[in-house]
A and B are shown apart, each in its own frame.
Chain A
Amino acid sequence: MIEAIQAAWPPLAATPLLWIVVTMGSFLLAKRLNRICNGAAAANPVLIAILLTAMVVKVTRIPYPTYFAGAQFVHFLLGPTTVALAVPLARNIRHIKSSAAGVVLALAVGSLVSMCSGIALVGLLGGSRAVALSMAPKSATTPIAIAVSQQIGGVPALTATLAIVGGILAAMIGRRLLTILRIDDHRTHGFVAGVVGSGVAAAQVSSLSGLAAAFAALGIALNGVVTALVTPLLAVFWH
C-alpha cells in the first residue's frame, strides 16, 4: 500500500490536480474543525488549512515551487475576488459616504501606526533591515504587500507569510479587542479588519453583516493604496 503510494506520488505531484485537491481538502477539513470548535477564533480555518497543506508538502518532500505550480490555480482567484469586493462596496456606498470623516482619519492613523510600529519593533529587537522592510507592508492585502516588499528591498515570500499570519492574528483578536473597547458598530469592525488584517480578517468579519463586509472591502482598498504609496518613503528613512 505505502509502496504503491510512493510510486504514484511523484508523477501525481507534477500535476496541478493533486495540489488543488490537497489545498481544497485541507480548507474543507479546516472549516469542519472550526465548526466543531464552535467557530473559536483560535481555530482559524485559513491557519489550519495552511498548516495541514504545509505538512503534506513537507512530509512528501515536495519543493514549494512544485506545490505552487499546481496551487496557483487557486491563488489566481485572488485577483477576481479582490475585484468582487466592489459589489459590497457599491451596495453600501450611502453608509460609506455618511462616515467619510471617520474612514479617512482611521485609515491614516491605523495604517501609519501599523507600518511604523512594525518597522520600529523589528529594529529595536535587533532584526535585520530586510525583515523590517518585509514587515512594513504586511497589513496590505497579500498581492499588494508582495509587490511593495519586492519594490523596497524586503523578502516577498516572508511578507506573504507575515501578511497572512498578521491577517489571521487580526481576525483572532480583532472582534474581542473591539468588544473590550466597547465598540459594537459593524462599520468600525469591518473597516478596522480591512485596514489592519486585509483579506483574511475581512473574510471573517464579513460574516457579521453586509455592512461589515462593505467597510472591510473599503479598508482593504484604501490601505492597499496608502501602503503602496507610503512604504517606499519609510524605506528611504529607515537605514
Chain B
Amino acid sequence: MMGGFFLLLACDLLGEALRDVAHLPIPGPVVGMLLLAAGLVVRSLRSDREPPPQLERSADILIANMGLLFVPAGVGVITQTGVLETEWLPILAGLIGSTLLGLVAAALTMHLVMRAPKADARRALVPGE
C-alpha cells in the first residue's frame, strides 16, 4: 500500500519535472500517467508480469473513490454566481449541447469503426470481464 502510493507520487513528481523541463503543454499528472503506463507495459512485455500488487491496491483504492476528489474544485461554483446569472442561457445550452453532441459523435464513430472488422475481438472480451 505504502510502496504503491509512493510509486504514484514519484511518477507524479517525475511528470511534473519533465513537463517543466521540456515545456510540455500537458499537465504533470498526465505525463506521469503516460510514463507509468509505458513502464508497466514494457515490464509485462519483457517478463509477462502483472503490475506489482502493492501498486494495484493503491491504484484501485484511489480510482474507486475518485468522485470525492472533484468536490473541492466543484464547490468553486459559488464564486461564479455573477456570470452564471447573466449568461445562464449560453452556458446551459453550450454545456448540455456540447456534451450530448460529443457523446453521440464519439460513440457512433467508435461503434462504426469497431463493428466493421473481426467479430472474434468481441468474443475474446467475455472471459474475466
Contacts and interface: CB of A to CB of B under 8 A. Distances in A.
A142 B70 contact: yes
B72 A72 contact: yes
A135 B91 contact: yes
Interface string A95-136: 100110111011101110111011101111111101110010
Interface of A: 23-24, 26-27, 45-46, 49-50, 53-54, 57-58, 64, 67-68, 71-72, 74-75, 77-91, 93, 95, 98-99, 101-103, 105-107, 109-111, 113-115, 117-119, 121-128, 130-132, 135, 138-139, 141-144, 146-147, 155, 157-158, 160-162, 164-167, 169-170, 173-174, 177-178, 181, 183, 185-188, 191-192, 195-197, 199-200, 202-203, 206, 209-211, 213, 217, 221, 224-225, 228-229, 232
Given A57-B75, A127-B90, A105 B67 contact: no
Give the interface centre of A80, A113, A200 by most chain B CB atoms within 10 Å.
A80
Given A87-B51, A170-B99, 6 more contacts: A72-B72, A82-B33, A84-B33, A86-B34, A177-B107, A224-B26
Given A49-B71, A77-B69, A183 B111 contact: yes
B119 interface: no
A46 B27 contact: no
A85 B106 contact: no
Contacts, number: 337
B75 A71 contact: yes
20 contacts: A26-B71, A45-B67, A46-B74, A79-B29, A86-B59, A106-B113, A107-B106, A110-B109, A111-B102, A115-B98, A117-B98, A135-B98, A139-B98, A165-B95, A173-B99, A178-B103, A185-B111, A195-B106, A196-B99, A224-B26
B47 interface: no
Given A72-B72, A181-B107, A202-B66, A126 B90 contact: yes
Contacts of B93: 121-122, 125
Contacts of A110: 102-103, 105-107, 109
Given A74-B69, A77-B62, A117-B101, A125 B90 contact: yes
Contacts of B96: 169
A186 B68 contact: no
Interface string B90-129: 1101111111111111111111011000000110010001
B1 to A, nearest CB: 13
Contacts of B36: 83, 86-87, 90
B78 A57 contact: yes
Interface of B: 5, 8-9, 11-12, 15, 25-30, 32-37, 40-41, 44, 50-51, 55-56, 58-60, 62-64, 66-80, 83, 87, 89-91, 93-111, 113-114, 121-122, 125, 129
B33 to A, nearest CB: 5
B67 A131 contact: no
Contact of A166 (B32, B44, B72, B99): B99
A24 to B, nearest CB: 7
Chain B: interface secondary structure?
Answer: helix
A93 B105 CA distance: 24
B33 A74 contact: no
A81 B63 contact: yes
Contact of B73 (A75, A121, A139): A75
